[in-house]
Amino acid sequence: MAKRRVLLKLSGESLAGARKEGIDKSCLDSYAAAIKESVLLGNEIAIVIGGGNIFRGMAGAASGFDRVTGDSMGMLATVINSLALTASLQAIGQDALLLTAHPMSPIGSHYSAPVAKQALREGKVVLIAGGTGNPFFTTDTASVLRAIEIGADLMLKGTRVDGIYTADPEKDPSAKRFERITYDEVYARELKIMDLTAMTLARDNGLRIRVFNMDQEGNLVRLMKGEPLGTLVENE
């Protein structure tokens, strides 16, 4: 039976743990353990990580950098995060390969979809860093793009909440969680899951995305075992 190929998107902030900034080593180690277990369960795992715990282009623009420079700094932040998780995976004996959108040897190899797919088939976790390689995009867009390029069966978007709600559950206690929702309904209800560039790319290419709570220990492994946690977004 063919293995399930999954692209996991983690925000930069999720690596910061309670500190909200930088990289929390215990957080990193617990993600690495869960990812290794997911591979042992028979999944192929590619990972895209954001950079918001270190730098965001918009913040750079606000403090006087031009946007292109700020975004380059943000893309480099994603490489720092991905390098850290690659090292944590390797430290526990999980083979991992770091690929970067910009040529950055010897830090990582230059990304191409065939190289990523070959490494996944070999059982390596593949970290795809540097966003799309272009300013004015987000790592959500990068993860949708990479998921489509490598032919992922599913994208998992780890967030701080356990799925998509009718309203912000932190503000509205009557908000209800969707188990499944279509892209059309996400647009119609103006739900903010990802930026519209990422959403449209996912919808137009029929990528299925499951939004789940990454902060709750054990969730990633439960998902890999087939539990329907969070909210699934798909076309009709």
Which residues make up the interface to ligand UDP (CB under 6 A)?
A: 11-13, 50-52, 56-58, 70-71, 74-75, 77-78, 131-132, 134-135, 137-139, 142
Residue with the CB atom nearest ligand UDP in the bound state:
50
Give, in degrees to the nearest 5, the angle at Cα 163 between 45 and 46. 10
In the complex, the smallest distance separating the C-beta of residue 11 from ligand UDP, rounded to whole angstroms, is 4
In the complex, the smallest distance separating the C-beta of residue 148 from ligand UDP, rounded to whole angstroms, is 14
**118 vs 24: CA distance, rounded Å:** 31
In the complex, the smallest distance separating the C-beta of residue 174 from ligand UDP, rounded to whole angstroms, is 28
Nearer to ligand UDP, 74 or 230 (CB): 74
SS3 20: coil
Which residues have a Cβ under 8 Å from the Cβ of 226 and sit 6 or more positions away? none
Nearer to ligand UDP, 136 or 187 (CB): 136
Q: Answer for the pair 74, 57: CB distance below 8 angstroms, yes or no.
A: yes
Does 135 count as an annotated binding residue? yes
Q: How far is CA 135 from CA 70, 76, 84, 102, 141, in A?
A: 8, 11, 23, 12, 11
Q: Answer for the pair 119, 89: CB distance below 8 angstroms, yes or no.
A: no
Nearer to ligand UDP, 69 or 109 (CB): 69
In the complex, the smallest distance separating the C-beta of residue 236 from ligand UDP, rounded to whole angstroms, is 28
Nearer to ligand UDP, 88 or 138 (CB): 138
**4 vs 42: CA distance, rounded Å:** 7
Does 85 count as an annotated binding residue? no
Does 140 count as an annotated binding residue? no
Can you say which residues are annotated as belonging to the binding site for UMP?
A: 51, 71, 132-139
